[in-house]
A and B are shown apart, each in its own frame.
Chain A
Amino acid sequence: MDLDLAPRYIEFRAECRGWLDANNPGRIKSMDTADGFEEHREWERVLFDGGWSVPGWPAAYGGRDCDLIEWLIYEEEYWLSGVPGRVSANGVSLLAPTIFNFGSQEQQDRFLSKMASGEHIWAQGWSEPEAGSDLAGIKTKAIRDGDHYVLNGQKTWCSRGAFADWIFCIVRTDPDAERHAGLTYLLVPADAPGMERRPIGRLDGEPGFAELFFDDCRVSVDHVLGEEGQGWAVAMAAAGSERGLNLRSPGRFMAAAERLTDLARELKAQGQAIDPRLRDEVADAWIRAQAYRWQTYMIAAKLMDGAEIGSEASLMKVFWSEMDLELHATALRLLGDHGEVSANNDWLDGYVFALSGPIYAGTNEIQRNIIAERVLGLPRR
């Protein structure tokens, strides 16, 4: 074991920091508003032109072939620098690994660079009104008709779905098959005829997600990712790949913990006494961010040695989502009666967003079942 970064990584960190500081656009509108979405798309383009949109990808698609450790360092610097969030995150972290694994050469060439540049912003269309935690209960039908599928059904809780250009969906291509069988991973353009989308107001009122209605919506068979009928395996493979790390890197929470300690230090400097329990919570948040960091570095090292992670990703998801929530709750407690004031209150916005963490990407109850059954080996029933 040797935890000191090699010189080339230290140089890489400085390069990241330098570029981000020089190109920081400052505060822009929420990505879940129509204007803010386009401002974020412009930021994606700036990142892409600088070569910092998808550093872990091959250069052919706009990346710089970074290894996992470089990627983790990049993420640390990204979030610490205070640049805007990533409107492309759903595509880059959830879809791209699947395209790399299962996409044809033609699909890779067609989709990846445009995803990296922000020309295509992707939303996820997996959940349905009757298929949330029980994802295998998907009912949206896609029946083959010549070189198209004809889609009928409904998707919901589609994050970024109100403004996205493309949706990556799981649909039922074999209506006689049940549960995990007969599903297909299908890429659906947002302007496909027969698809209607309705924004759903999130807790904060912004159209953070959408529901999609398919009424004889026609989608080309070229847009199947992997094989017809293999949608479940195709979708789940990404969770077991090294990119299972990608959804929420430690850098995001290290930066938030840093800002939380800054807040506590500022209050102290202003002469405000900090409740010992809150001081304890601030330290706890900072410690947990560091724990997540070192756990991730150690997992990344194993992946770089050729190991695979699968269900361990569930441990990470539960940990970061609950850490994030506690961290923001602590900040609001520190702010006291200022906490509820909504204007320019990043902590409040962050808290409201963090509340969704234990729900999205598989609820933490489902994740704990996975930990118990697949990591610990407890009986399923």
Chain B
Amino acid sequence: MQFTFTEEQDMFRDTVRDLFADLCPPEAVRASWDNDDGRVPGLWSALADMGVLSVLAPEDAGGLGMDEVDLVRILEEAGYAGVPDPLVEHVAVAIPALAEARSGLVGAAIDGSARFAVSLAAGGAYVLGAQSADHILFESDGALSVIGSDGFAASAVESIDQSRRLATVEVTGTAISLAGADVVLAADRAMLGTAAQCVGVARRLLDSTVVYVGERHQFGKPVGSYQAVKHHLANVRLGIEFAAPLVYRAAWSVAHPESHDAVTRGRDVSMAKAMAADAVDEACRAALQCHGAIGYTFESDLQLWLKRGWALAAAYGDSRQHRDRVADALGI
């Protein structure tokens, strides 16, 4: 029993945070908008080298053999840095599902040589990163299959967040069934990973806004000294403070199927996504309001996290949908 993170967990998180800060500053995110694949050059291979891609792959499959508790803190940092690459889909969803199905594709997934997109019913109509994916892991009739890029056609759909390369996908070839991989668990992992990213995005919005309102003066004083501004940002801090523990709690539930049945796990994941989605929504609103007109410009980097926040709050179910799932679990 230990209700906080271990020193190793903290160190791993710090290492990845430093890597993101190094390779994925806002300029790199902006530059990636002009890339064919929308990804930050060099980041994917650096993550593969560090083992980040393989956090959820068992050691006997060449992975780090860690669990969702380790992963959510990495994904929180990915949200904080605004990483455009589809990490949740590849790392949190595809790799463990491939490993559970004992698929031969695990090796290429963890060394980064094959890039995976994910299409789940819970993820809605559009598939993130489909056009640059070598394989798509998809849900059909309640089961998971995988298909290579010669077996699907992806048509781009523009997102307001230029880092999110969405597409509609039509499967044209013959897919390989991933027997042994649980589709509900895969969706829970996607929701959990997205919730963690929401918390990271909210933290970034708060941090940048705290800096801005400390520098910006009106009426001869920093705007951050006014109570109306303070209370907006206190509310953002409150949202984050109480969403993050639910994300960690849900990660624990997902990582421990021996003591958490699917209903409990789903309830815990949905609690996390509901609170994290609301936290990032509130952070987006307050950050924009407290920045004023400058925050409404394309030039300001604030837009990177505003748009990511809007997208991720809704991705894999918005807060109302997740509260609905909690209500189901509670029998009301």
Instruction: Mark A residues whose CB is within 8 Å of B.
Output: 1-6, 9, 69, 261, 264-265, 268, 274, 279-280, 282-284, 286-288, 290-292, 294-295, 297-298, 300-302, 305, 312, 315, 318-319, 365, 367-369, 371-373, 375-381
Known: A291-B243, A377-B210. A3 touches B249 (CB 8 A): yes
Question: In the assembled complex, which residues on chain B have CB atoms less than 8 Å from the CB atom of A365?
Answer: 227, 231
Contact check: which of B225, B242, B320, B323 meets A378 at CB < 8 Å? B225
Which bracket fits the contact residues of B? 35 or more
Q: Which of B305-332 contact A (CB under 8 A)?
A: 320, 323-324, 326-327, 330-332
A166 to B320, CA, bound (A): 49
A57 to B235, CA, bound (A): 34
Query: Is A3 in contact with B234, judged by CB distance below 8 angstroms?
Result: no
Chain A min CB distance to B6 (Å): 7
Query: Is B238 in contact with A319, judged by CB distance below 8 angstroms?
Result: yes
Instruction: Mark B residues whose CB is within 8 Å of A.
Output: 1-6, 9, 69, 206, 210, 213-214, 221-222, 224-225, 227, 229-231, 233-235, 237-238, 241-246, 248-249, 252, 256, 259, 271, 274-275, 320, 323-324, 326-327, 330-332
A305 to B7, CA, bound (A): 13
Q: Looking across the interface, which residue of chain B has its beta carbon closest to that of A258?
A: B330
Question: In the assembled complex, which residues on chain B have CB atoms less than 8 Å from the CB atom of A9?
Answer: 1
Chain B min CB distance to A294 (Å): 4
A286 to B222, CA, bound (A): 39
Q: Looking across the interface, which residue of chain B has its beta carbon closest to that of A296?
A: B245
Q: Looking across the interface, which residue of chain A has its beta carbon closest to that of B250?
A: A294
Known: A1-B3, A2-B1, A300-B3. A378 touches B210 (CB 8 A): yes
A300 to B320, CA, bound (A): 30
Contact check: which of A274, A318, A378 meets B332 at CB < 8 Å? A274
Contact check: which of A1, A286, A305 meets B330 at CB < 8 Å? A286
Query: Is B4 in contact with A305, judged by CB distance below 8 angstroms?
Result: yes
Known: A261-B330, A291-B245, A302-B4. A376 touches B69 (CB 8 A): no
Question: In the assembled complex, which residues on chain B have CB atoms less than 8 Å from the CB atom of A375?
Answer: 234, 237
Query: Is B221 in contact with A287, judged by CB distance below 8 angstroms?
Result: no
Question: In the assembled complex, which residues on chain B have CB atoms less than 8 Å from the CB atom of A301?
Answer: 2-4
A185 to B221, CA, bound (A): 36
Contact check: which of B210, B320, B327, B332 meets A376 at CB < 8 Å? B210
Please, could you name 17 A-B residue pairs with CB atoms under 8 Å apart, sorted by A? A261-B330, A268-B332, A274-B332, A280-B320, A280-B323, A283-B330, A283-B332, A291-B275, A292-B242, A294-B248, A295-B244, A318-B234, A368-B234, A371-B238, A375-B237, A378-B214, A379-B214
